[in-house]
A and B are shown apart, each in its own frame.
Chain A
Amino acid sequence: MAAISGGMSSVPPSVPGVDRNLDTSAHPAAIDVRGMNFYYGDHQVLYDISLMVPERSVTALIGPSGCGKSTFLRTLNRMNDLIEGARCTGECLVEGQNIMDPAVDVVLLRKHVGMVFQKSTPFPKSIFENVAYGPRVAGERNRAVLADLVESCLRRAALWDEVKDRLQTSAMALSGGQQQRLCIARTLATNPRIILMDEPASALDPASTDRIENLIGELCANYTIVIVTHNMQQASRVSHQTAFFFKGRLVECGPTTTIFTSPSEKQTEDYITGRFG
């Protein structure tokens, strides 16, 4: 238990905007997963996952590589549909509607459940076009509306001041951290309710990571965020709720402070204190 108390004292302070003592039980569920099983062909990747994500809060998914947390994240906006042979059973309610239903329009779903990837993936177009892409494919043609939207999204992603004078230059010329914030701005431009982040800062330097984490703190006032991360410190800094995945199972899920100070499962405790993984 000494290791645990050591862990307790080392829980870092949360970023501004993330109040770990926030009582999320009062928040309605943005995502409610019930008994989800996931298979790649015959290979089962997720076993009977049930998880509730409260609205306007940050949920961190942690666990060793290959534990299924990224796969789980991608089921939430059905990005796994793109993988041939992927199959999913169970229920996944997003704002009360089961998105596993074949009648669900994935295009609409992905507009409301945005996603930021581990590797920043700007399109080979200008910064402006990158942010305007989502609204454009949704049918917005008015230049002035697009310009306003691009500005407000870049501001919310804390990138505006750095790029406002070169909106027409290539997004590929931005630094890694700027590209990742651009991808966040691009996601915000589709006006999502939920943002999924798959290790958004794992390829970034500490300063850029810091900016992304602060950004999450600002965004969680208005958006529901689910973030996959390998970085324990990051999970504890940015999230209200933490879920620990191991070998395709959800071992434990609870308020971040509890998970990091007094987890109820031995596996969680071992992982968080760095005994494995």
Chain B
Amino acid sequence: MSTASIPPVSAEVSGTPVNFRSGNDPWIRRRLLVSRAFLWSCRVVTYSSLAILGVLLASIVWKSLGRLSPNFVTSYTSFNPEKAGMLAGIWGTFWLVALTALFSIPVGIGSAVYLEELAKDSFIVRVIRVNLSNLAGVPSIVYGILGLTIFRPLMDSLEILFDGRHAIKVLGLFRIRLLQLEIFDGCVLAGALTVSLVILPTVIIASQEALRAVPSTIRVASLALGATRWQTIWRQVLPAALPGISTGVILSISRAIGEAAPLMMIGVLTMTSLCPGGIESPLQVLMNPSRLLAVPFDQFTAMPVAIYDWSKQPDPQDRFAAVAAAGIVVLLAVLLTINATAMLVRARAARNLKW
């Protein structure tokens, strides 16, 4: 019965010479056309978004030319657009990101290791796993409110550390003067904790995925050689996952640099001539390292906040637009530098692995 459904080989068909040149068969021509149209539409969407980005970048750079100069990054902001600079924002963002990295990297990688490698598959663990991606999608302004309601009062409760409201006592040995009276209004520490919350879900998810990509045979082989769980994770699994983890961490840090909303929520400064800890150049860190201790408790401003503020400055000739554009150029330059460093670090980590 099955033989009946197979058409007999016709002598005519097998006898006709086949022409492999295209353009003869209308059906094949149509398929080729569709395939080519698909290729071109992919090209168009890719390059059009690239072109828009290029136009945007070019217009910003063009606008910034009026203010972009070496003294833009070495001077404080001012009501005079000719003099307004980004020094406070650069240092503020630097300390913010440094502290954020300090909190979010160990906590993020530690949580990922726990969830992927150590935790038993319990109800709570499953709830956490599912909700991590939900948390990653929460708008950062929500974390800002969280920071406002939790971290600022928390900082206030740390008052025992302080002598009055102007200085920190360090082990009763010496005092470090703070720059602002209202010490806890949007200090670097509160900002860093808030931004850590914003990026933690992303750090954890990226680390989890990197850990999951490590073949389980490596773990089993390591355990079979008499390694403990800790040794297996520390010597085999983490090194193998490090390139992936560092990519996730760097992308999250880049996001932290660009965040303005949660910082404004907790009340960072806008027009300020204050660098946290009064540190205006790397040299001062070496000359007076004790100032580092004041950094977390000082008020600050960050690059995106400063840019936002400039873009809102009332000015009849709109001269602050150039300042804001210059700020954006500097912010982008910093981001690019960090991403480039990330690629180097990643390449380094991957080279130690001998796949």
Contact = CB atoms under 8 A, between A and B. Distances in A.
Interface of A: 77, 79, 82, 84, 107-108, 110-111, 114-115, 117, 119, 121, 123-126, 133-134, 136-138, 169-173, 183, 186-187, 190
A115 B224 CA distance: 6
Interface residues of B, number: 21
A123 B121 contact: no
Interface in B209-242: 215, 217-218, 220-228, 231, 235-236, 240
B225 A79 contact: no
A117 B220 contact: yes
A187 B236 CA distance: 16
B353 interface: yes
A80 B236 CA distance: 20
A172 B355 contact: yes
Contacts of A138: 226
Nearest to A169: B354
Contacts of A173: 354
Nearest to B352: A125
B354 A172 contact: yes
Contacts of A82: 220, 223
B238 to A, nearest CB: 12
Nearest to A127: B354
B120 interface: yes
B217 A119 contact: yes
Interface of B: 120-121, 215, 217-218, 220-228, 231, 235-236, 240, 353-355
Contacts of B231: 137
Nearest to B350: A124
A138 B235 CA distance: 13
Contacts of B353: 124-125
Contact of B223 (A110, A172, A186): A110
A107 B218 CA distance: 16
Contacts of A125: 353-354
Contact of A124 (B120, B226, B228, B354): B354
Given A125-B354, A169-B354, A79 B217 contact: no
A190 B225 contact: yes
B224 A123 contact: no
A117 B221 contact: yes
A107 B226 contact: yes
Contact of B224 (A84, A108, A114, A170): A114
Contact of B355 (A119, A136, A170, A190): A170
B354 A110 contact: no
B226 A108 contact: yes
Nearest to A138: B226
Contacts of B121: 84
A111 B228 CA distance: 11
A79 B221 contact: no
Residue among B224, B227, B231, B355 having the largest count of chain A Cβ atoms under 10 Å: B224
A135 to B, nearest CB: 9
A134 B355 CA distance: 19
A173 B353 CA distance: 12
A170 B227 CA distance: 21
Closest 10 CB pairs of A and B: A170-B354, A111-B226, A121-B217, A121-B221, A137-B227, A134-B225, A115-B224, A124-B353, A110-B226, A137-B231
A171 to B, nearest CB: 7
A137 B225 contact: yes
Nearest to B236: A123
B274 to A, nearest CB: 48
Nearest to A116: B224
B226 A121 contact: no
B227 A107 contact: yes
Contact of B225 (A110, A126, A170, A171): A110
Contacts of A121: 215, 217-218, 220-221
Contacts of B228: 107, 137
18 contacts: A77-B224, A79-B223, A82-B220, A82-B223, A84-B120, A107-B228, A110-B226, A111-B225, A115-B224, A117-B220, A121-B221, A123-B218, A133-B222, A134-B225, A134-B227, A173-B354, A187-B225, A190-B225
